[in-house]
Structure 1
Amino acid sequence: MEAILYICHGSRVNEAAAQAVNFIKECMKRQSNIIQEYCFLELASPTIEDAYATCVQRGATKIIAIPVLLLTAAHAKHDIPDVLHKMKNLFPEVELKYGRPIGVSEKMVDILEERLLETKRKITDQSLILLVGRGSSDPDVKKDLSHIADLLQIRMPNTTVKDCYLTAATPSFEDALIQVESYPVNQIFIIPYLLFTGLLMQSMEKAIGEIQRTSEQEFVLCHYLGYHPKIEKVIGERIQELSGESAYVSNYA
């Protein structure tokens, strides 16, 4: 029997963990698999180990593990596979397939457009869009987010789209805020490329508030991505990739 194991990041913020659980429960409704479990890599429960064991106890002979992560970085390449390898050794009779994170998708660009429209402000050639990622020392994170920024730029040809990062990559969000003051624009839209609320959103709000006090430019903070229905569709696609004999299997599994 085939089980689906949804692996979320986890957060110290209870609201963020609750948002993840509610989203996964919606994803589960779209799949016919009887055995479906969710878990967290860190900072919340159940753990990957616990949820994997639950799948086996419920009768799984094959587990499809889906990392519910925005981009491919150390968590998707190393941290999650390390735990899955340990569980595979504990239950060698159970087949394991490990899928891709959400990654680059036109559906994600659709959500970015929606977040901009929600502000009810007109985007002009005097506007600039900052796409703000969590960041990582892994170069694939910057490559993928830059690609997403390029796709958004194609849809917004009359303005400029730039990417920046909250941690471990350049340009930093703080540096980007300083740099845009020298640009000939009067309005900066800031889109947090984050799945959930939390400490990073709080730090962004604080930084924007500080720079807005002395700047003549308007800084517009958009809503974070959230667990959007289109992300649910991408998760469904990642599950489908692992179906059949010619299924895609992540190189990191």
Structure 2
Amino acid sequence: MKAILYVGHGTRSKKGAAEAKQFLQSVIEQTHGSIQEISFLELTHPFIEEGFELCIKKGATEITVVPLFLLAAGHIKNDIPEALTPLIEKYPNVQVKVADPFGVQHQILDAIAELVKEKAGELNGQEAILIVGRGSSDPVIHEAFAMIGKGLEQRLGIKHSRLCYLAATTPTFQEGIESITQETKDRVIVIPYLLFGGLLLNEINAEVKSRQKNGYQILHTDCLSRHQVIRNIVIARATGKEDEYATTRY
């Protein structure tokens, strides 16, 4: 019997965890499968082992693991495989397939452009965008964000963009937002490249509000899971229709 195990990152924020679970529940309701379980890599229960064991108890002989991660950083390359290895060894007769992370997809960039236009209204091309990533020391992530920045510039007709990160690498979020607000005479649009709300999005929101009070023309878009395309991509991963959402296209 086939099963689907969704794996989110996890968060210390109760609101963020509830948001992620609510999102996944909506995916489950739209995905035909008798065994579907939710799990998280860290910080939020149930963890991967708990979700995997629930799939087994319900009779799973094939498990498709669907990571809810935007890019292939250390969690995808190391942490999730490390969590799954003892489970695969424990249940050698169970086939386990791990779906790819989302990657840089033109559908996601189109969705972000829509979120920007919904928030900012009509653009004049003089605005600047600040793309904020979670952060990773992996150079592949930096290459991906360069593609994301270029793709959004093209879609929005904006010439000035910057990238920054909330942890693990530079430029930091504080460095990025300070630089772009000083350089830009028009509006600054901050784009959190995050799937769900939580402490990281709260940090961005607090900084943006602080600068708004100081007279800066600055705003930020919401987390990416607010757009239907993200839900569609997760469903495609879960049902084995990944080819409908090809990566590295922007």
TM-score (norm 1): 0.88
CA distance in 2, matches of 1:225, 1:168: 21
Alignment of 1:1-253 (within 5 A): 1-214=1-214, 217-241=216-240
Kindly provide the CA deviation profile for residues 186-224 of structure 1, in whole angstroms up to 9, marking residues without a partner as x.
21011111122221122223333444455x541112222
**8 Å contact 1:107–1:234 — kept in the other structure?**
no
CA distance in 1, matches of 2:65, 2:184: 47
- Report the equivalent of 2:245: none
- Give 1:99's aligned amino acid: A
Unaligned segments of structure 1, at least 5 residues: 244-253
CA distance in 2, matches of 1:223, 1:187: 17
SS in 2 for 1:185: coil
- Give 1:10's aligned amino acid: G
CA distance in 2, matches of 1:61, 1:195: 30
RMSD value over aligned CA atoms?
1.9
CA distance in 1, matches of 2:176, 2:42: 30
**8 Å contact 1:187–1:218 — kept in the other structure?**
yes
CA distance in 2, matches of 1:242, 1:184: 42
CA distance in 1, matches of 2:158, 2:135: 27
1:121 Cα deviation after fit: 3.4
CA 9–184 in structure 1, closer or farther in 2 if over 3 Å, else same: closer
**Which stretch has the larger CA shift, 55-64 or 115-124?**
115-124
- Give 1:22's aligned amino acid: Q
**What percentage of aligned pairs have identical amino acids?**
33
CA distance in 1, matches of 2:21, 2:81: 21
TM-score (norm 2): 0.89
- Report the equivalent of 2:248: none
1:227 Cα deviation after fit: 4.5
* Corresponding residue pairs, total: 242
- Give 2:92's aligned amino acid: P
1:48 Cα deviation after fit: 0.6
Unaligned segments of structure 2, at least 5 residues: 243-250
Q: Select the structure that is richer in helix.
A: 2
